[in-house]
Structure 1
């Protein structure tokens, strides 16, 4: 089947009123198709869209009027939708989300994919994201694929042979670039504590945002690190080029960096293109507990909105509004805890709103990662190692890494809680 020209493709002939539509995340979003979908929404009639990490403006509140939008979190443009009261969140672990689409428990009527092309054989590949979209394609009524010659050919991410698109469309634009988020001084101060916990030869996972970026930017002096992560951006290139990442000591996928979704610019796209030292793997591999537990020295680095005095982590809700996601945090925390020599690090600034609000709190408003799973909490004031600690010991260690101006109040709250517990 030859791709048809974008200007001759009518998406309204394939999407029906009442349909549920999903598409690839981040740079895997097929912009030719999603832009056409939004442009023709009035002709199609009411339909719904499920978003992942979406960084284009296609589904910004001002463009998506009349489209019902759900997502697994307020990531990228979904944060603006949440603020506008336009987002319905599915609070699932990322591994469970992918498994549900693979099994058909969750379904989409129409799946939009972006495909790359093998430079040697002409086969189609997934390019930027080996995620739930391709799993959902197995159970969808209609699969439409945009073929983008600028998308990288990534290893271990061939389009499965049993997924045959109903229509192929030529890309009318290059893939979406996703620049690195800015890094502030507080993030760098936190990163200095985190990198002190990372030995040479460790295998690393990073969450999304300025804090994980700061940690990666601080690892240039390390050697023989490995990468096994749900997502990865341009700093992968920096770490390989400076010699920090070699993947030499990984117990699985030795010699190869592994990620499931790419969040970068052309620099990353060019680096991973036909690069045998990089694998784009599905969530069953990137987030699978059995896989992570076998990765010796696996260290997960993720961030949070707030942490309470028992160690409970909130990575989803602030001021009553969804601003984050369950995502893969619990998957990676549990995997790191199960791995030989593993560590699960949650990093966050000690304060918010210009220092007026403590992020170490007496009680969180929402629990993403339970206290029973938490290993270490890091702020700019130090590391609170919580493994094996009682509730009182945890609270004391967390107060020690809170901002100094809030420690007295937190100590008072701890005293009141204990007085209530012990009469």
Structure 2
């Protein structure tokens, strides 16, 4: 099938009123198609979209007016929609979300994909993301694919033979660049504590945001690290080129960095293109418990909004508003706990709003990762190892890594909780 030009393609001929539309995440968003979708929303009639990690302006509150939007979290532009009260959240584990689309439990009427092209064979590949959009395509009424020559060809991410797009469209836009987030001094301090817990030869997973970026930046002196992560950005190139990441000591996928979604710029695109030391895999592999448990020395590094005195982690809600996601945190925490030599690290600043609010709290407003799964909590004031600790021991360790100005109030809250328990 030969791709048609964008000017000769009418997306309104494929999307109907009442349809649910999904598309690839991050740089895998087919901008030619999503921009056409928004431009023709009035002609199509009311429809809905499901967002993943979306960083384009196509579905910002002003441009997405009149479109019903749901998402698995308030990630990227979805955070703006949540703030505007226009986001409906599906609070599922990332692996469960992918499985639901794979099995048809969750469905999309129309799936928009961005494809790359193998420069040698001409085969189509998934480019930036091997995720639920591809799985949903098997059950969709219509699959529309944008062919983008600037998208990287990545091994293990060929377009499945049973997914045949109804139409191919030439890309009018380059892939979306997602630059590295800035790293502040507090994040650098926290990162120094985290990297002391990471031995040479460990296999690592990182969440998104400035804190995981700071940890990656602080790993330049390590050696023989491996990567097995849900997502990764340009920092991967730094770690490989600097000699920190070789993947040589991984117990699974030795010699290869394994990622599910790419969140980077042209530097990352050029690095992964036709690179046999890199593999783009689906969530069943990147987030699969059986896979993670077999990865010796697997260390998961994720962040949070707040942690309470029992160790419960909230990575979703702040001030009654959705600002994060369940995502893959619980998948990776449980996988790291099950792996031989594994560690599950949750890192967060001790305070918010210029030091006026503690992020170590008496009780969290929402539980993302339960206390029974938590291993280590890290702030700029140190590490609270919680494995094998009683509730009283946990509280004391967490108070010790809270900001000093909040420790007395937290101790009083602990006393009141204990008195309420024993009275």
- TM-score, normalization: structure 1? 1.00
The residue that corresponds to 1:366 in the other structure is 366
In the TM superposition, residue 419 of structure 1 has moved relative to its aligned partner by 1.1
User: Hey, what's the Cα distance between the residues in 1 that align with 2:381 and 2:64?
Assistant: 43
Distance 1:422 1:248 in 2: 53
DSSP 3-state at the match of 2:135: helix
Q: How far apart, in 2, do the equivalents of 1:349 and 1:276 lie?
A: 37
Q: Which residue of 2 aligns with 1:379?
A: 379
Identify the residue that residue 393 of structure 2 maps to in structure 1.
393
Note the 1:125-204 alignment, pairs <5 A: 125-204=125-204
Partner of 1:269: 269
Match status 1:101 vs 2:101: yes
- 1:74 counterpart residue number: 74
**Counterparts of 2:55 and 2:306 in 1: how far apart (Å)?**
25
- For residues 313 and 357 of structure 2, the distance between their equivalents in structure 1, rounded to whole angstroms, comes to 16
Alignment of structure 1 residues 19-418 onto 2, 5 Å: 19-418=19-418
Q: How many angstroms apart in 2 are the aligned matches of 1:420 and 1:36? A: 59
* Cα deviation code 1:57-115 (max 9, x no counterpart): 00000001110000000000000000001100000000000000000000000000000
- Look up the match of 1:14: 14
> C-alpha displacement at 1:213, in angstroms?
0.2
Deviation at 1:420, TM superposition (A): 1.2
The 2-side partners of 1:18 and 1:417 are apart by 50
Structure 2 Cα separation of the partners of residues 26 and 199 of structure 1: 31
Q: CA deviation at 1:37?
A: 0.1
The SS at the match of 1:296 is coil
Rounded to whole Å, the distance in 1 between the matches of 2:209 and 2:319 is: 19
* SS of aligned partner of 1:143: strand
d(CA) in 1 for partners of 2:152 and 2:257? 16
Q: Structure 1: how far apart are the matches of 2:113 and 2:144?
A: 6
1:142-200 deviation per Cα after TM superposition (whole angstroms, max 9, x unaligned):
00000000000011000000000000000001000000000000000000000000000
Instruction: Provide Cα deviations, 1:218-264, integer angstroms capped at 9, x if missing partner.
Output: 00000000000000000000000000000000000000000000000
Q: 1:33 is paired with a residue of what secondary structure?
A: helix
Q: Give the whole-Å Cα distance in 1 for the aligned partners of 2:304 and 2:97.
A: 21
* 1:130 to partner: Cα distance: 0.1
List 4+ stretches of structure 1 deviating above 6 A: none
Equivalent position SS for 1:414: helix
Q: CA deviation at 1:422?
A: 1.4
Deviation digits for residues 301-326 of structure 1 (CA, Å, limit 9, x no counterpart): 00000000000000000011110000
* SS of aligned partner of 1:249: coil
Over the aligned positions, Cα root-mean-square deviation in angstroms equals 0.3
Does the residue aligned with 2:4 lie in a helix, a strand or coil?
Answer: coil
Partner Cα distance (2:413, 2:59) in 1: 43
- Aligned residue in 2 for 1:3: 3
- The CA deviation string for residues 316-357 of structure 1, in whole angstroms up to 9 with x for no partner, is 000111100000000000000000000000000000000000
Measure, in 2, the Cα distance between the counterparts of 1:115 and 1:348.
36
User: What is the DSSP-based 3-state SS (H/G/I as helix, E as strand, rest coil) of the residue aligned with 2:261?
Assistant: strand
Q: What is the TM-score when the length of structure 2 is the normalising length?
A: 1.00
Secondary structure of the structure 1 residue equivalent to 2:251: coil
Task: Measure the CA separation in 2 of the matches of 1:82 and 1:270.
Answer: 34
SS of the aligned residue for 1:205 comes to: strand
